[in-house]
Amino acid sequence: MGIVIRYLCLSMRKFYRAGAISAETAVSPESIHVKRNLFSRRLLQFGWVVSVDGERYYLVEDEIKKRPLAWLGITRFLYFIRS
């Protein structure tokens, strides 16, 4: 189970680092090297990633911030880069 959570956080982190946090800044998964597979469908089911037109997606920060450990998994790496 830990591997699944880790992969989900890595995928969400890629959206976050690409700046895909609104419908205007949505990106295609291929452009940020995220595969369309079971894990990406899980992100859509959780409501953490939303589709704009079926081709572009963005991260819903408000939904993820409701899950502190998921938010930490996304931003933790960025904290170490900035320090």
Q: Is residue 68 scored above 90 in pLDDT?
A: no
Q: Nearest-CA neighbor of 74 among 15, 32, 1?
A: 15
Distances (CA, A) of 39 to 3, 62, 79: 11, 20, 25
**Bigger pLDDT: 38 or 64?**
64
The two tokens of residue 50 are 């939303």
pLDDT at 81: 47
- pLDDT of amino acid 77: 57
Q: What is the dihedral of CA 65, 46, 76, 22, to 10 degrees?
A: -70
Give per-residue pLDDT as tens, 8-59: 888 888 999 999 999 999 999 999 998 888 777 888 888 889 999 888 999 9
Question: What is the predicted pLDDT for the residue at 82?
Answer: 47
